[in-house]
């Protein structure tokens, strides 16, 4: 059986995506772009970007994932709650991306990944033992295994920033999807409490770490003092240069915006050397 609301979302998203392909000005006005959101207060981009896609393959992959999890969620929760999870996860994913990229004025993104992550994780905590099959896997896995792997991959994806995937939107959408499902179905705290902890605990720890110490996202192989086992030796003060330790400590206590232009240049130099 197919999801009625999921199909409607697919059609509406397809039309918006198609219009974006035909009209570049429309595409640029409605995509996720850090500076216009923060400076020009174009907050509608937090929602409109979820109905645009980079290409038809991007659109197709997202919509297949959406429809794969939509029917059971719509059947159990009903249309209003399903829509709340979709829209809430879309907003939550983009807000996390906005926070992580607030100092990247040229950062742009499109896609419904955050919203779809919310739908997927709502299904995961509601049906933890259901077996699912993925396009790239020749065998089935339990939804709880998928959920845990998804969170771990998202965390390391955000940290490495080595691909063009919106891991931040994925993680933010997944967290909102779980939290909204708990509010709507409190009974899952008794049946799926272990899975909720497996998802939320590592995600929460990671978010607390990057809020308290933004340097984690700036320095390769750096996870904070006491957590990193592969970090290279510290740079000493020499030739009137500020040490790496000083820069990281300043970022941790005063935020990255407190760095001077010269300190930012030095930090980038250290990062390349590491």
Neighbours of 158 (CB within 10 A): 24
d(CA 120, CA 174): 8
Q: Which helix (H) or strand (E) element contains residue 131?
A: strand 131-133
Residue that the structure tokens 């040490």 belong to: 243
Classify residue 137 by burial, with Cβ atoms within 10 Å: 0-12, 13-18, 19+: exposed
Q: Which helix (H) or strand (E) element contains residue 254?
A: helix 244-254
Say if CB 245 and CB 205 are below 8 A apart: no
If phi > 0 it is left, if psi is from -120 to 50 it is alpha, else beta; for residue 132 that is: beta
140 phi and psi angles, rounded to 5 deg: -90, 150
Residues in the chain: 274
d(CA 253, CA 211): 10
Which sequence positions are flagged as catalytic?
113, 170
Neighbours of 36 (CB within 10 A): 17
């Amino acid at each position: 059986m197919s999801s009625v609301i999921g199909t409607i979302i697919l059609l509406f998203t397809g039309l918006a995506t198609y219009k974006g392909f035909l009209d570049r000005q429309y595409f640029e006005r409605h995509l996720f772009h850090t500076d216009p959101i923060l400076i020009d207060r174009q907050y509608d981009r937090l929602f409109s970007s979820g109905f645009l896609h980079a290409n038809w393959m991007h659109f197709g992959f997202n919509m297949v994932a959406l429809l794969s999890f939509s029917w059971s969620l719509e059947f159990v929760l009903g249309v209003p709650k399903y829509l709340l999870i979709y829209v809430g996860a879309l907003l939550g994913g983009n807000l996390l991306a906005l926070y992580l990229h607030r100092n990247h004025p040229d950062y742009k993104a499109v896609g419904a990944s955050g919203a779809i992550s919310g739908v997927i994780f709502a299904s995961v905590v509601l049906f933890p033992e259901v077996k699912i099959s993925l396009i790239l896997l020749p065998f089935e896995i339990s939804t709880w295994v998928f959920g845990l792997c998804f969170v771990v991959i998202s965390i390391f994806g955000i940290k490495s920033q080595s691909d063009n995937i919106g891991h931040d939107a994925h993680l933010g959408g997944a967290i909102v999807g779980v939290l909204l499902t708990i509010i709507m179905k409190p009974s899952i705290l008794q049946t799926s409490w272990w899975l909720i902890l497996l998802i939320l605990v590592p995600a929460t720890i990671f978010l607390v770490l990057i809020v308290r110490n933004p340097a984690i996202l700036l320095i390769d192989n750096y996870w904070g003092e006491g957590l990193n086992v592969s970090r290279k030796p510290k740079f000493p003060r020499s030739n009137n240069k500020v040490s790496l330790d000083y820069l990281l400590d300043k970022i941790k206590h005063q935020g990255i915006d407190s760095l001077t232009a010269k300190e930012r240049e030095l930090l980038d130099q250290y990062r390349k050397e590491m």
